Amino acid sequence: MDEVLMDEDDDCPELVPIAGNPLSPGEQIPVTIITGYLGAGKTTLLNYILTEQHNKRIAVILNEFGEGSALEKSLAVSQAGELYEEWLELRNGCLCCSVKDNGLKAIENLMQKKGKFDYILLETTGLADPGAVASMFWVDAELGSDIYLDGIVTVIDAKYAMQHLTEEKPEGLVNEAARQIALADLTIINKTDLVNGEELNHLRDTVRSINGLVKILECQKSRVDLSQVLDLHSFDNKDGVNLAEKLQLVKTTTRPHLDKSILTVTFEVAGSLSEDVLNVFIQDLLWEKAFKNQAGLPMKVIRLKGIVSIAGKANQVMLQGVHELYELDETPQVWGKEPRVNRLVFIGRNLDREILQEQFISTVLKVGDRN
Ligand SMILES: Nc1nc2c(ncn2[C@@H]2O[C@H](COP(=O)(O)OP(=O)(O)OP(=O)(O)O)[C@@H](O)[C@H]2O)c(=O)[nH]1
């Protein structure tokens, strides 16, 4: 971390030649959101990435300062006692920047340095809702032309996660630690040195019961294989085939790990759908909160994924949702001779599988299109 190459008077330092292919025109830069509860190991992960040799030119945006870390100290460039946004170039080709806001402004500034990096990592603050940040990438069309959301990675503290997850929240409030897991495409259970095998199993089961889709890595000092963290393509249709396979393996959480908790619900229904009516179903669910569970509580979806069959379309269609935003995107995968099946996975609160499935069938299925 002490080998920062920069010109003292310039907040865009002179560049050293870096191995790696320059971006071809029109190529989009992936963004991975790194989230996790306070103290879970996010900064340790970013420090690791910034100091390892990996032949990737990664731009890292940190949006929070703490005390004590070498990385943070090296970044805390002060001007009249104020912290200000500063891009630093590191020996291994990484770019690094610290900002106090949600990081989107920093991405806009970063894009002016296009060609100097080929990946962006954005760390959110420990209590932030990563869904809000993720949603911004979907709605910001201007940014959307240059970058795309690759995935949400949640770092979990093996020692304290269960404590955070079981914390009672006032009625109506979501447990942030659980929400961060619900939204994750990948979770990294860190600090495994601080727990025994039984505790680790229990935590793993809990993570799985919240998010039946998520991939789980386990490590110490946030040392993970970067190829497992980057290029997940969690939100685009490049992952269509993988997603279809993954959805088949997901199971509805049978016993909620906690009362009123976030859990995963999944079902499959054969047939083809009218796109218009499918939109009505999704909007009733995500926007109107029109579906209630047996206790009369409105179902709240945090993350939604699916592969559906739209009447008249030869290709499979991927459904993605984060909070109230969703997208239907045709995948390159063509339906085969086997009967078409719609598979949906919902992660959220107050979800009841049977009621959701009934609603889905009664709202969207065009019986005439069954094949
Ligand atoms: N025992 C142990 N300690 C770890 C491990 N990984 C990180 N730590 C320590 O945990 C503390 C918190 O790590 P950070 O990386 O700062 O966590 P963070 O998620 O960035 O924290 P905030 O920015 O405050 O949200 C530091 O003192 C790390 O040295 C690990 O695998 N085992």
| Residue 144 contacts residue 83 (beta carbons within 8 Å) | no
Bin 234: left if φ > 0, else alpha if -120 < ψ < 50, else beta. Answer: alpha
Residue among 1, 34, 35, 44 whose CB has most ligand 1 atoms within 8 A, to mutate:
44
Q: Which residues pair with 269 in a beta bridge?
A: 342
DSSP string, 269-314: EES-B-HHHHHHHHHHHHTS---B-TTSPBPEEEEEEEEE-BTT-S
Residue among 1, 38, 43 whose CB has most ligand 1 atoms within 8 A, to mutate:
43
Q: Regarding predicted confidence, which is higher, 21 or 251?
A: 251
**Highest-confidence segment of 9-18, 59-68, 181-190:** 181-190
As a whole number of angstroms, the distance between CA 227 and CA 230 comes to: 6
User: How many Å lie between the centroid of ligand 1 and the Cα of residue 38?
Assistant: 9
User: Which residue, by CA, sits nearest to atom 3 of ligand 1?
Assistant: 191
User: How many Å lie between the centroid of ligand 1 and the Cα of residue 172?
Assistant: 30
Residue 62 in contact with ligand 1 by CB distance below 6 A: no
Residue 124 in contact with ligand 1 by CB distance below 6 A: no
Q: What is the pLDDT of residue 264?
A: 92
As a whole number of angstroms, the distance between CA 212 and CA 215 comes to: 9
Q: What is the pLDDT of residue 27?
A: 74
User: Which of 76-90, 244-258, 262-276, 312-326 is predicted least confidently?
Assistant: 76-90
- The pLDDT confidence band at residue 66, using thresholds 50, 70 and 90, is very low
For the segment 335-345, the average pLDDT, to the nearest whole number, is: 92
Pairing mode of beta strands 119-123, 29-36 = parallel
Q: Measured between alpha carbons, how far is residue 84 from residues 76, 79, 121 in Å?
A: 8, 7, 19
Q: What atom of ligand 1 comes closest to residue 190's alpha carbon? A: 31
Residue 208 in contact with ligand 1 by CB distance below 6 A: no
In sequence order, what are the residues at sequence separation of 6 or more whose Cβ sits closer than 8 angstroms to the Cβ of residue 69? 43, 47
Across all residues in the chain, what is the average pLDDT? Answer: 79
Residue 20 in contact with ligand 1 by CB distance below 6 A: no
Please name which of 32, 235, 20, 223 lies closest in space to residue 121, comparing C-alpha atoms.
32
Pairing mode of beta strands 87-90, 4-5 = antiparallel
Q: Regarding predicted confidence, which is higher, 252 or 333?
A: 333
- Label residue 203 exposed, middle or buried (CB < 10 Å: 0-12, 13-18, 19+): buried
Q: What ranges make up the beta strands (E) of the chain?
A: 4-5, 29-36, 58-62, 78-79, 82-83, 87-90, 95-98, 119-123, 147-157, 186-190, 215-218, 262-270, 300-308, 315-322, 325-334, 341-349
Q: What is the pLDDT of residue 342?
A: 94
As a whole number of angstroms, the distance between CA 99 and CA 206 comes to: 33
Please name which of 52, 359, 64, 366 lies closest in space to residue 225, comparing C-alpha atoms.
52
User: For the chain, what is the radius of gyration of the CA atoms?
Assistant: 22
What structural domains does the chain harbor? Answer: 29-66+83-228 (3.40.50.300), 239-369 (3.30.1220.10)
Q: Is 223 helix (H, G, I), strand (E, B) or coil?
A: coil
Q: Which residues pair with 154 in a beta bridge?
A: 35, 187
Question: Tokens at residue 37, please?
Answer: 């509860």
- The pLDDT confidence band at residue 89, using thresholds 50, 70 and 90, is low
User: How many Å lie between the centroid of ligand 1 and the Cα of residue 131?
Assistant: 23
User: How many Å lie between the centroid of ligand 1 and the Cα of residue 45?
Assistant: 9
Q: Please state, as a whole number, how many other Cβ atoms lie within 10 Å of the Cβ of residue 239.
A: 19
DSSP state of 364: H
Q: What atom of ligand 1 comes closest to residue 64's alpha carbon? A: 23
Please name which of 210, 344, 319 lies closest in space to residue 264, comparing C-alpha atoms.
210
